[in-house]
Amino acid sequence: MLSRRFGAVGAAVIVALASSYAPASAVAHDPLRVGDARSDVSSSGSDEHAADLVSEMTTAEKAASIVMGHIPTTDAAALHAYMQQGLGGFILMGANIPATDDELLTLTAALSVDPALPPLVAIDQEGGLVSRLGSDEFPASTSLKTQPVADSAAAFSARAALVARAGISVNFGTVADITSDSSSFIYGRALGTDPQSAAERVEAATTAQEQVVASTLKHFPGHGAAPGDSHQAIPTTGETIDDWRATDAVPFAAGVDAGASLLMFGHLAYTSVDPAPASLSPRWHEIAREELGFDGVIVTDDLGMLQSSGIPEYADPVRNALSAVVAGSDLVLTIAGSTPDTAGQIVRGLTAAVDAGTLPADRLAEAATRVMSLRLQSTSATTDWALCPECEPAE
């Protein structure tokens, strides 16, 4: 995980890359530029500070801090009220994106109950097929998978700048899945069609984004090997762990080594490793930590997708969240089917599980500390974004 420290030279690089990939009209009228870049908290320092803060929290506060919630509105007051539950994060979906950039900044600011410690504000800004920000016209996976690796670095530098300027600290934007099957659900979103090409582009995208926002690798352990759409089912594969290590693992390992801040676990069942979806599998969490060496925040894919599968054992969102945290996830994400009450129900369920002994208190504290550390690092990256009317349009 990188501490996202960069000065004038790094800022200039971001500006140049953003300008070179933006349409001429966009660069001429509304380019991205860094006004100032500062970072006062190192990664190790934030870890220590996070541990101190978490040690002073109640069990309920710790539980709330590892929930990333969602409600579909652009009403800043409603969002502020929703976040007063003490949630550690919020994910912006299409229904949260207002008409103008100024309105979006007002909205993201409203998500902070304590301005000194903002929540993690996330977005799925892959570009191309999955794009929440309409102003993102930078190259995406559909073309980047066949272009030089440097193009991926340039595109994701620009994309990260766009995300950061909106007041968003986390991008769920790097698809590390691989498949050569053009009919696959994930093909159009993957950055490569084979392990090596995907790994090179994932590494480039991760390195570029981590200078500006917290980047995320998804969907671990790899959607390409498991056919089907995980929004509606639990895609399943019989791929062995050895085959996985030689193929689907490669881009994830590259992204981890490049410093990705988050690793998103998919609702994917590799039955030869564990019949349970990876998001609920202690074995897959162990593999991510011990084999890949990932020490950042593990986030679930939307837990509502488990409910949407129609499988009875995944019908309860609170049970799903508890299973994910017990397995090793640090941050639980709830979107599909979520109401204004869902996050609070999960918080109460996790709290009760600690009291009952079904969720070890130290597991909750560990998760809360990782999330808190990332919040502190994101808060310390106080880059100021401003319009740049003097920048030259791209040729």
Q: Which of 231, 243, 295, 316 is catalytic?
A: 231
* 165: region left, alpha or beta (phi > 0 left; psi from -120 to 50 alpha): alpha
Structure tokens at 266: 């998919």
Q: How many CB atoms lie within 10 A of CB 115?
A: 8
* Residue 194 is among the residues annotated as catalytic for this protein: no
Partnered with residue 385 across adjacent β-strands are 34
**DSSP strand pairing (384-386 vs 33-36):** antiparallel
Count CA within 13 A, CB hemisphere, residue 56.
Answer: 5
Question: How far apart are alpha carbons 260 and 11 in whole angstroms?
Answer: 20
DSSP H helical ranges for the chain: 8-21, 24-29, 43-55, 59-65, 76-83, 101-110, 141-144, 149-165, 195-209, 241-246, 249-257, 282-286, 304-308, 317-327, 342-356, 361-380
Q: Which of 248, 301, 302, 330 is catalytic?
A: 301
Structure tokens at 234: 């639990």
Structure tokens at 317: 């969102």
> Which residues 6+ apart lie within 8 Å of 187 measured at CB?
179, 181, 193
Q: How many CB atoms lie within 10 A of CB 106?
A: 14
* Residue 301 is among the residues annotated as catalytic for this protein: yes
Question: How far apart are alpha carbons 131 and 83 in whole angstroms?
Answer: 24
Backbone angles phi, psi at 190, to 5 degrees: -75, 150
> Which residues 6+ apart lie within 8 Å of 373 measured at CB?
43, 46, 47, 49, 50
- The set of catalytic residues is 231, 301
